[in-house]
Structure formats: structure tokens, C-alpha cells
């Protein structure tokens, strides 16, 4: 009889005790905030008790993984203060002694270790499944061996240098060809077509009719 | 009232007569560079006139001076100031067939100073303008990666958090002021050369050299791309912009007329200054380009067409820019509102979607009524679309901060970034062609270099010297130096030169002779509109703008804005005063080109009095005006 009364008391008391352990601003608890509509938009699932159970299971998994102890169970994760946001608080009790809470730091380590798995379980991300107080680690910057801009710069400068050298060489060749032509046969200068007329250097060339054959007086 | 024409001896000996011009046209036409066809000439002039100012100065002026109402002073001054000056430069270049120094020396040897002033201004402006192109190239090189480097803040050295200078301002600000310029906190603090900037500067000058190598033979080919590509890109951006949310808000904001602004004199002065600088007048480049035309080319028609194209381009690019700014402003507004809504949802644990944009104001009021302290502690931002729209700045701020931010919000950002910076590059490069022309041709005319030196060498030397001096802009304080050059080298001297040009042509050369020349060239005398504007209206407008600018600059305390992460109002730019030694630099930039005009005249007068030589005969020994002026052959 006494045992039966004690048993009844335990059944009533345990949840009450659990409620004492888990409360808003609990020293060893974390607040979780979930933004389903932001993450999934139209495909957002409904957050109900089954999802809460899933969360408990995921957290238990995270604790097992971190401590490498197979004793963590769904009952060790206590949830409270649920709101329609969706947000809630949770605390983790030790599997050996259900009145003792696992310290905040250890919970944080466990969460960080399995953060990726927890996010994927709910189809969410670091931003939409927030553990307030546990900041996501920043991605390490990707440092390529050569900065990409140097590659483009190299291509452009290479093309420009090739262009300059090509133009300079062609000018030199033209000048030499013209000088050779002048010393060989002085009378034939007027017949030579000279490309790229420059100031003062080519005294003779063919008369450029391309433009001046237009009407002398262009109509407005 | 017609002023008596000032005495001008020996004019007939210095310039080719009409018969000589006809003869030159038929026979000796091969010794001066010529345009391959009319298209090249038009594209080069359009490219020279249409520049970065059309894209980043005009839209800002339009928006800040009453939107659609700004068109009225702009168009009026375009017709009264821009077109006459343009026609004047085209006509005088085509008639006297030489560059700026050659033309003014031929009109009167004491006017050589006007040509030299044009040379100095083209040189100084070309230096800093090409640095802007170097910045554009830097951004272009950095556009070939996804995500774009200015879309997010970098992580600090110990990987604990984002760099604080970036989080306090914004990723685009950080990339511009830190990664690109590595700017120091004041103009006196030079901070050494930034190697990546030196590389980009080198690339910009080499690219310019390869295009200007043989004068108009090479630039004439390059302009097919550099003058047309900006219009293609603008159209692509317009189509892309109009499909984005909020673009129409931007366009409406730009063009909403506020007729009260017309009463404000600074609106008219800004419009006049914009028309003047937008046409790239007084650089000497337009005179030079026009001198390569056939004598009977219709310069009047050209002037009108190019003015119309320039005005149209300004309005078109303003539309495109503001459609994108409207999109950016709407994105910012949405983000701001979303941030506020999230803060409310989190603080009060309300279900997602219970507060939306529609009921935000109402919900906020309700919550404020019941929980005022919580609302206070949230520190909600005020989100106002009009504030975001009026953040459209001008100049480098528009291109490298505001527009780049807008690009990061568009899908496939690297593509838009590449297109945008190619467009800016083409706009800048085609203006540089005119600048180089305005520097190299006068140098040849002044016989600074031996005549047998090829054009390639002279262009190369000009580019090399400009590159070396432009290394000032590659320092940490380079941005401040550039702003200094922009305010002083490219403003007052140009107005002085333009005023002198008009007085020289109308009163020293003689408006009657000028009218007869135009009749000879295009077949009819210029009508009353040209007479009135050339004689009175345009010089008066230029004089008024000059007086206004001079008085404002002299009377106000000259300040500049600096980026200082440790200042109180960071990220707002700090207003600093220039140190005392800067005034020497300002005098060199603005004073020397302006004073060269009377200075050369006085110098020649003294030389003539001392040596008693005949100034009017032997002086004009220019490479570019190869005419049989004297019986003796030129050496």
C-alpha cells in the first residue's frame, strides 16, 4: 500500500519535478527557436507533438554521440515553455540520476558536434533552427592559390602586350619597306598604297577618294 | 552692338585661303591623317562627349534638382550653350586644319597660350580620368568569381567573427575603401603605393597606348566597339531593370517634376556646368578630330546630331541607373521591414506570418500600447522607401558602392557586374582617346619633340609620363588626390579656355570671315541663331558660370571627405580641411593653365620687343598644317 502510494506520488511528482528542472531562463537550459515558414515556405510541415518527440530523440542522439554513452534516452530531454513562434526551452538530465542536469557547456559541445545532423533532420539550417547562445561556427574562408583577379589581369595584360608589339613591328616593317622602295625606285612612290598614314612621315600616298567624292555641299 | 574686330595683322598669310584648301582637297590630301569614313568620325566624337559623367553625374543632378523639371534648364542650356560651342570648335578645326595649338596660333600668335592651356588641361584630366578606368578594371577583374567579393564581409584573422570595419559599415563600402583603395585617413598620410592598384594602372595605360598608338588610324577602329557597346549594355540593363521589383518606383522618383526648383539659381548653374563639361569642350580634342575631315564636311549638321545624341544618352542612362536604384532601395526597404518583423516575432513569441508588411504598422501600434518598454529595448529601425531612394549618390560612390550593392542582389550577379564594368570601361576609354589627342597633337605642333620622331614614340612618352605621375593616385591617399584633381584641374581652366575660344573666333578672327568660311565649307551662311549665340549668348553663359564657380571656390573653406574607421560618426565620411601646402597644388592645377593664356602672350610680346623679330611670319611651323604658306620650303 505504502509502495503503491509512493508509486502514485512518483508518477505525479516526476513531471512536477521535471517541470521544476525545465523552466524559462533555466541556468542549464537552452532556448530553441524554429522558423519553419522562413526555411520551407509552402512546404513547411506542421509543428506538433510528434515533431517535439523527434526533437527529443535527436537531442538524445547528440548526447549519445558526444559522450559515447549508450544510456541517453528520450526521457532525458525535457521540454517546456512552448510558444506558437515556434520556440521552447529544453534541459538535459543525466541518465544515471534524473534529478541532476547536464551542465550547459557539455550540452553546447554535444550540439556543436552534431549540429549538421540535427539541422538536416528537420530540413532546416543554422539560421532557421536556432539554439540561442550557441553561435554557428563561421565557415573558413576559401583562399585559392592565385586570387582570381590576377588570372584575368594576366590574360588582359598579355593580350595588350602582344597587340602593342604587333603594331610596333608592323609600323617598323612598313617604314623599312617604304625606305627600301624609295631608294630602289624613286619614281614609283606615288603608286604605292600605304596603310596607316602618319603625320609628316608619309609625304606621298595615293589620294584618298573614299570620302571626298561625296557631294561638295552636303545638304542639311 | 557689334564690337569692332580687334586688329589682326597678317592673318591671311598664316591660314590657307579657300583656293588653297580646294587644291589641298584635290591634290595633297595624303599627307594629313584622314578618317576612313564618316562613321568613325561620328563615333569618335560621340565617344569623346559621352563619358562617365553622363552615367554618374547627370542622374544625380536630375534627381536632386526637381526630377523631370531639371530637363527644362538642361535642354535650354544645351541649345544655347552646348550646340553653338560644339559647332564653333568643329568649324574652326575643319577650316584651319590643325590641332588646338595650330589653330589658335594661326588666328593670332599671341593666342598660342589658349592652345597650351588646352594641352595642360587635357594632360591633367587624362591622368586622373585613366585612374578611374584603372579602378573600373580592378572591379572588372574581380567580377569573375561567385559570390562576388563585395557581397559579404570577410572573416577576421582568428576566424572568430567578421571584420569589424566591415560589419560597422557594409561589405560594398569595405571592399571599396579597404580592399580596393586601402585608403588612409587624410590626404597628408600617403601610406605608400598599393601594388594591386599600380598593376591596374599599368594595365589601363598600356591598353590606352595600344589603342592610341597610331593616332586616329588605331582609335578609329577601336571606337566601333567602345562607342557602341555602352548603348548595348544600357539596353540590356534597362530590360533587366524593368523586370525587377521596385524599378518603376526609382524611375518615378527620378522624373517626378518639382517646378519650384526652377526658381533656384543653382539648378540653372548646375545644368549649365553639366552641359559644358559633358560636351568635353575646350580640351582641344574636338578641334583636332574635326581637322581630319574633308573641307566640305557638314560640321553644322554634325554638331546638332552629336548634341542630340549626348542629351539623349544622358536621359537614357539616368532612366537605367534609377531603375536599378529603385530596385536596390526596395530591397533595402524589404530587408529593413523584415528585420523589424522578425525582431517583433522573436520578442513576443508570435507565430510566423502573423505580422506581415500589410499589418506591420497596426501590429506595432498595438504592441507599443501594451508593451512599450519591450518595444523600446528592441531598437527598431525606421524603414522609409523615400530615404533609400534619395541615397542615390553621384560619382565613384554611385558606381562602386550603390550600383555594386544592387548587382549583388540580382540573380547571376557576376554576369551583371562584368557587363556594367565593361560599359564603364568603354565610356571612359573613348573619352581618353580625345584626351590623348588633345595632348599629343599640340606637343607635335609646338615642336617639343624632334619632327622625325614617329607618332608611336610621342604617344608612348606621353603615356609613360602620365603613368608615372598618376602613381600618386595609387597611394593610400590616392582617392583624395583624385577628388582634388577633379575639382580643380577639370573645372575653372576649361571655362577660361572656352571663353577665350569664343572671343578669339568671333572678335579676333572675325565673325564675318568665319561666316564666309562656313559658307565656303557647307554651302550656306550660318543663320541668325548661330550669330546671336556665338556673339553674345554663349560667351555670357560661360562667363556667368565661371564667375559663380570662382566665387564659390574662393570664398568657401575648401574641405574634403575622408574615410576614417576610428571617427565618431563612422561610417559617415569625415569632413576635413585641406592642409596649407595643398593650396600650392590647387594653384598649379587651376591657376597655371588659366594663367598660361595671358602669360604666353606677354612672353611673346617681350620676346618681340627685345629681339624685334617678325612674330607674325615665321612662327607657324606646325607639323599638322602642312600648307604652302611661304615661298621657302619648310625644313
Residue of B nearest to A193 (CA): B30
Whole-number pLDDT of residue A202: 47
Instruction: Inspect the interface and report whether the beta carbons of B142 and A84 lie closer than 8 Å.
Output: no
Whole-number pLDDT of residue B632: 41
On whether any CB of chain A is under 8 Å from the CB of B280, the answer is: no
pLDDT at A197 over 50: no
Burial call B366-382: b when 16+ CB within 10 Å, e when fewer: ebeeeeeeebeebeeee
Instruction: Inspect the interface and report whether the beta carbons of B34 and A208 lie closer than 8 Å.
Output: yes
On whether any CB of chain A is under 8 Å from the CB of B97, the answer is: no
pLDDT at A201 over 70: no
pLDDT at B9 over 80: no
pLDDT at B612 over 70: no
Task: Report which secondary-structure segment, H or E, holds B31.
Answer: none
Which residues of chain B make contact with A206, given a CB cutoff of 8 A?
30
Whole-number pLDDT of residue B87: 95
Whole-number pLDDT of residue B381: 84
Contact B478, B181 (CB under 8 A): yes
Whole-number pLDDT of residue A86: 84
On whether any CB of chain A is under 8 Å from the CB of B523, the answer is: yes
* Lowest-confidence pick of A139-153, B504-518, B534-548: A139-153
- Helix, strand, coil percent values for chain A (each to nearest 5): 50, 10, 35
pLDDT at A149 over 80: yes
Percent of chain A with pLDDT over 90: 15
Considering only the beta carbons, identify the residue of B33, B144, B155 that sits closest to A141: B155
B223-268: pLDDT as tens digits: 999 999 999 999 999 999 999 999 999 999 988 888 898 898 889 9
Whole-number pLDDT of residue B310: 94
Cα B221 to Cα A95: distance, rounded to the nearest angstrom: 82
Considering only the beta carbons, identify the residue of A203, A205, A218 that sits closest to B522: A218
**Residue A191's pLDDT band (boundaries 50, 70, 90)?**
very low
Whole-number pLDDT of residue B622: 55
Q: What is the DSSP string of B325-346?
A: HHHHHHHHHHHHHHHHHHHHHH
pLDDT at B357 over 60: yes
Cell reading at A158 = 598579355
**Residue B619's pLDDT band (boundaries 50, 70, 90)?**
very low
| pTM metric for this prediction | 0.85
What is the nearest CA distance from A36 to chain B, expressed in angstroms?
Answer: 8
What is the nearest CA distance from B610 to chain A, expressed in angstroms?
Answer: 33
Whole-number pLDDT of residue B427: 95
Whole-number pLDDT of residue B392: 64
Cα B621 to Cα B626: distance, rounded to the nearest angstrom: 8
Residue of A nearest to B153 (CA): A141
Cα A32 to Cα A79: distance, rounded to the nearest angstrom: 10
Which residues of chain B make contact with A210, given a CB cutoff of 8 A?
36-37
**Residue B465's pLDDT band (boundaries 50, 70, 90)?**
very high
**Residue B487's pLDDT band (boundaries 50, 70, 90)?**
confident
Whole-number pLDDT of residue A190: 47
What is the nearest CA distance from B624 to chain A, expressed in angstroms?
Answer: 7
pLDDT at B291 over 70: yes
Whole-number pLDDT of residue A18: 59
Considering only the beta carbons, identify the residue of B142, B206, B623 that sits closest to A199: B623
A47-67: pLDDT as tens digits: 888 999 999 999 999 989 888
List CB contacts of B334: < 8 A, sequence separation 6 or more. B357
Torsion of CA B573, B575, B580, B584, to 10 degrees: 60
CA angle (A108 as vertex; A103, A114 as ends), nearest 5: 130
List CB contacts of A95: < 8 A, sequence separation 6 or more. A69, A71, A72, A73, A76
Whole-number pLDDT of residue A195: 45
Mean pLDDT over each residue of chain B, to the nearest integer: 88
Instruction: Inspect the interface and report whether the beta carbons of B34 and A83 lie closer than 8 Å.
Output: no
Considering only the beta carbons, identify the residue of A207, A214, A216 that sits closest to B30: A207
pLDDT at A182 over 80: no
Which residues of chain B make contact with A208, given a CB cutoff of 8 A?
29-30, 34
Cα A49 to Cα B89: distance, rounded to the nearest angstrom: 83
Residue of B nearest to A211 (CA): B37
Instruction: Inspect the interface and report whether the beta carbons of A202 and B30 lie closer than 8 Å.
Output: yes
Burial call A41-68: b when 16+ CB within 10 Å, e when fewer: eeeeeebeeeebeebbebbbbbbbebbe
Mean pLDDT across the stretch B155-164? 78
On whether any CB of chain A is under 8 Å from the CB of B209, the answer is: yes
Residue of B nearest to A141 (CA): B155
Which residues of chain B make contact with A203, given a CB cutoff of 8 A?
31
Beta partners for residue A195, in sequence order: none
Cell reading at B453 = 620622331
- Which residues of B define the annotated binding site? 47, 50, 54, 278, 310, 427
Residue of A nearest to B206 (CA): A160
Query: Strand B574-577 vs strand B559-562: parallel, antiparallel, or unpaired?
Result: antiparallel
pLDDT top residue among A29 and B116: B116
On whether any CB of chain A is under 8 Å from the CB of B30, the answer is: yes
Instruction: Inspect the interface and report whether the beta carbons of A149 and B138 lie closer than 8 Å.
Output: yes
Residue of A nearest to B146 (CA): A148
What is the nearest CA distance from B263 to chain A, expressed in angstroms?
Answer: 37
pLDDT at B359 over 60: yes
What is the nearest CA distance from B12 to chain A, expressed in angstroms?
Answer: 24
Mean pLDDT across the stretch B124-145? 95
Cα B329 to Cα B246: distance, rounded to the nearest angstrom: 8
pLDDT at B29 over 70: no
Cell reading at B6 = 580687334
pLDDT at A154 over 80: yes
Residue of B nearest to A86 (CA): B351
Instruction: Inspect the interface and report whether the beta carbons of A197 and B34 lie closer than 8 Å.
Output: yes
Which residues of chain A make contact with B137, given a CB cutoff of 8 A?
156
pLDDT at B37 over 80: yes
Instruction: Inspect the interface and report whether the beta carbons of B144 and A38 lie closer than 8 Å.
Output: no
Instruction: Inspect the interface and report whether the beta carbons of B207 and A84 lie closer than 8 Å.
Output: no
Mean pLDDT across the stretch B67-77? 91
pLDDT top residue among B344 and B631: B344
Mean pLDDT across the stretch A24-50? 86
**Residue B179's pLDDT band (boundaries 50, 70, 90)?**
very high
Whole-number pLDDT of residue B626: 47
Which residues of chain B make contact with A139, given a CB cutoff of 8 A?
155
Instruction: Inspect the interface and report whether the beta carbons of A212 and B217 lie closer than 8 Å.
Output: no
Which residues of chain B make contact with A198, given a CB cutoff of 8 A?
33, 214-215, 217, 454-455
DSSP B400: I
Burial (CB < 10 A; 0-12, 13-18, 19+), residue B635, is exposed
Whole-number pLDDT of residue B614: 53
B410-452: pLDDT as tens digits: 999 999 999 999 999 999 999 999 999 999 999 998 988 888 8
What is the nearest CA distance from B63 to chain A, expressed in angstroms?
Answer: 35
Q: How many interface pairs between A and B have CB atoms less than 8 angstroms apart?
A: 148
Which residues of chain A make contact with B213, given a CB cutoff of 8 A?
164, 167-168
* Lowest-confidence pick of A101-105, B405-409, B470-474, B609-613: B609-613
On whether any CB of chain A is under 8 Å from the CB of B142, the answer is: yes
* Lowest-confidence pick of A178-182, B1-5, B79-83: B1-5
Q: Which residue do the cell numbers 552629336 mark?
A: B306
Instruction: Inspect the interface and report whether the beta carbons of B296 and A85 lie closer than 8 Å.
Output: no
Which residues of chain A make contact with B346, given a CB cutoff of 8 A?
33, 85, 87
ipTM of the assembly? Answer: 0.84
Mean pLDDT over each residue of chain A, to the nearest integer: 79
Instruction: Inspect the interface and report whether the beta carbons of A37 and B159 lie closer than 8 Å.
Output: no
Sign of CA dihedral B315, B318, B322, B324: positive
What is the nearest CA distance from A196 to chain B, expressed in angstroms?
Answer: 6
B83-132: pLDDT as tens digits: 999 999 999 999 999 889 999 999 999 999 999 999 999 999 999 999 99
On whether any CB of chain A is under 8 Å from the CB of B205, the answer is: no
**Residue B404's pLDDT band (boundaries 50, 70, 90)?**
very high
Amino acid at each position: 500500500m505504502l509502495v503503491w502510494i509512493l508509486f502514485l506520488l512518483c508518477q505525479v511528482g516526476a513531471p512536477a519535478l521535471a517541470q521544476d528542472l525545465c523552466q524559462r531562463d533555466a541556468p542549464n537550459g537552452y532556448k530553441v527557436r524554429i522558423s519553419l515558414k522562413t526555411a520551407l515556405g509552402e512546404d513547411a510541415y506542421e509543428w506538433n507533438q510528434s515533431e517535439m518527440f523527434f526533437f527529443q530523440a535527436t537531442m538524445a542522439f547528440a548526447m549519445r554521440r558526444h559522450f559515447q554513452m549508450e544510456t541517453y534516452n528520450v526521457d532525458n530531454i525535457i521540454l517546456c515553455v512552448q510558444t506558437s513562434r515556434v520556440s521552447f526551452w529544453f534541459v538535459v538530465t543525466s541518465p544515471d540520476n534524473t534529478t541532476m542536469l547536464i551542465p550547459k557547456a557539455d550540452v553546447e559541445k554535444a550540439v556543436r558536434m552534431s549540429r549538421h545532423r540535427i539541422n538536416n533532420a528537420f530540413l532546416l539550417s543554422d539560421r532557421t533552427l536556432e539554439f540561442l547562445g550557441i553561435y554557428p561556427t563561421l565557415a573558413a574562408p576559401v583562399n585559392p592559390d592565385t586570387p582570381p583577379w590576377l588570372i584575368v589581369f594576366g590574360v588582359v595584360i598579355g593580350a595588350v602586350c602582344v597587340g602593342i608589339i604587333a603594331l610596333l613591328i608592323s609600323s617598323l616593317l612598313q617604314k623599312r619597306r617604304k625606305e627600301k622602295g624609295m631608294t630602289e625606285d624613286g619614281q614609283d612612290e606615288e603608286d604605292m598604297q600605304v596603310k596607316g598614314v602618319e603625320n609628316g612621315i608619309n609625304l606621298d600616298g595615293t589620294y584618298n577618294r573614299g570620302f571626298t567624292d561625296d557631294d561638295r555641299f552636303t545638304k542639311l | 552692338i557689334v564690337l569692332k574686330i580687334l586688329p589682326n595683322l597678317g592673318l591671311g598669310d598664316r591660314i590657307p585661303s579657300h583656293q588653297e584648301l580646294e587644291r589641298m582637297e584635290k591634290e595633297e590630301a595624303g599627307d594629313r591623317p584622314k578618317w576612313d569614313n564618316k562613321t568613325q568620325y561620328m563615333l569618335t566624337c560621340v565617344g569623346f562627349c559621352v563619358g562617365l559623367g553622363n552615367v554618374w553625374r547627370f542622374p544625380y543632378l536630375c534627381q536632386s534638382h526637381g526630377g523631370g523639371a531639371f530637363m527644362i534648364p538642361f535642354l535650354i542650356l544645351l541649345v544655347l550653350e552646348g550646340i553653338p560651342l560644339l559647332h564653333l570648335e568643329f568649324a574652326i578645326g575643319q577650316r584651319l586644319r590643325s590641332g588646338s595649338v595650330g589653330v589658335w596660333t594661326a588666328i593670332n600668335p599671341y593666342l598660342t597660350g589658349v592652345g597650351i592651356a588646352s594641352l595642360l588641361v587635357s594632360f591633367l584630366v587624362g591622368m586622373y580620368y585613366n585612374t578611374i578606368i584603372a579602378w573600373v578594371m580592378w572591379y572588372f577583374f574581380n567580377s569573375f568569381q561567385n559570390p562576388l567579393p563585395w557581397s559579404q564581409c570577410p572573416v577576421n584573422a582568428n576566424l572568430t567573427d567578421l571584420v569589424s570595419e566591415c560589419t560597422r559599415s557594409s561589405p560594398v563600402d569595405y571592399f571599396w575603401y579597404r580592399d580596393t583603395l586601402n585608403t588612409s585617413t587624410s590626404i597628408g598620410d600617403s601610406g605608400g603605393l598599393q601594388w594591386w592598384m599600380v598593376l591596374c594602372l599599368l594595365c589601363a595605360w598600356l591598353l590606352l597606348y595600344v589603342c592610341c598608338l597610331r593616332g586616329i588610324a588605331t582609335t578609329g577602329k577601336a571606337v566601333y566597339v567602345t562607342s557602341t557597346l555602352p548603348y548595348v549594355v544600357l539596353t540590356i540593363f534597362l530590360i533587366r531593370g524593368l523586370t525587377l521589383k521596385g524599378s518603376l518606383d526609382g524611375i518615378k522618383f527620378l522624373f517626378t517634376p518639382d517646378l519650384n526648383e526652377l526658381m533656384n539659381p543653382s539648378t540653372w548653374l548646375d545644368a549649365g556646368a553639366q552641359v559644358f563639361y559633358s560636351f568635353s569642350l575646350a580640351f582641344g580634342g574636338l578641334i583636332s578630330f574635326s581637322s581630319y575631315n574633308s573641307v566640305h564636311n557638314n560640321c553644322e549638321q554634325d554638331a546638332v546630331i552629336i548634341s542630340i545624341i549626348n542629351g539623349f544618352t544622358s536621359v537614357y542612362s539616368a532612366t537605367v541607373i534609377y531603375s536599378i536604384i529603385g530596385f536596390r532601395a526596395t530591397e533595402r526597404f524589404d530587408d529593413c521591414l523584415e528585420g523589424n518583423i522578425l525582431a517583433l516575432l522573436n520578442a513576443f513569441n508570435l507565430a510566423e506570418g502573423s505580422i506581415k508588411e500589410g499589418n506591420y504598422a497596426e501590429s506595432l501600434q498595438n504592441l507599443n500600447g501594451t508593451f512599450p518598454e519591450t518595444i523600446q529595448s528592441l531598437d527598431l529601425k525606421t524603414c522609409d522607401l523615400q530615404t533609400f531612394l534619395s541615397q542615390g549618390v553621384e560619382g565613384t560612390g554611385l558606381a562602386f558602392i550603390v550600383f555594386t550593392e544592387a548587382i549583388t542582389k540580382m540573380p547571376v550577379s557576376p554576369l551583371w557586374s562584368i557587363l556594367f564594368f565593361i560599359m564603364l570601361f568603354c565610356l571612359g576609354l573613348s573619352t581618353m582617346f580625345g584626351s590623348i589627342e588633345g595632348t599629343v597633337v599640340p606637343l607635335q605642333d609646338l615642336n617639343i619633340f624632334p619632327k622625325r620622331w614617329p607618332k608611336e614614340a610621342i604617344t608612348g612618352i606621353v603615356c609613360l609620363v602620365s603613368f608615372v605621375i598618376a602613381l600618386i593616385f595609387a597611394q593610400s591617399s590616392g582617392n583624395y588626390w583624385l577628388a582634388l584633381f577633379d575639382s580643380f584641374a577639370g573645372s575653372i581652366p576649361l571655362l577660361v579656355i572656352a571663353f577665350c575660344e569664343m572671343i578669339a573666333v568671333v572678335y579676333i578672327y572675325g565673325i564675318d570671315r568665319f561666316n564666309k568660311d562656313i559658307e565656303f565649307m557647307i554651302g550656306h551662311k550660318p543663320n541668325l541663331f548661330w550669330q546671336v549665340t556665338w556673339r553674345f549668348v554663349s560667351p555670357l553663359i560661360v562667363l556667368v558660370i565661371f564667375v559663380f564657380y570662382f566665387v564659390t571656390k574662393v570664398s568657401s573653406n575648401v574641405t574634403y571627405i575622408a574615410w576614417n574607421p576610428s571617427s565618431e560618426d563612422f561610417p559617415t565620411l569625415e569632413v576635413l580641411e585641406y592642409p596649407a601646402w595643398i593650396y600650392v597644388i590647387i594653384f598649379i592645377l587651376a591657376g597655371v593653365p588659366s594663367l598660361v593664356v595671358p602669360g604666353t602672350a606677354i612672353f611673346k610680346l617681350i620676346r618681340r620687343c627685345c629681339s624685334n623679330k617678325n612674330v607674325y611670319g615665321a612662327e607657324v611651323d606646325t607639323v599638322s598644317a602642312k600648307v604652302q604658306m611661304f615661298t621657302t620650303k619648310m625644313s
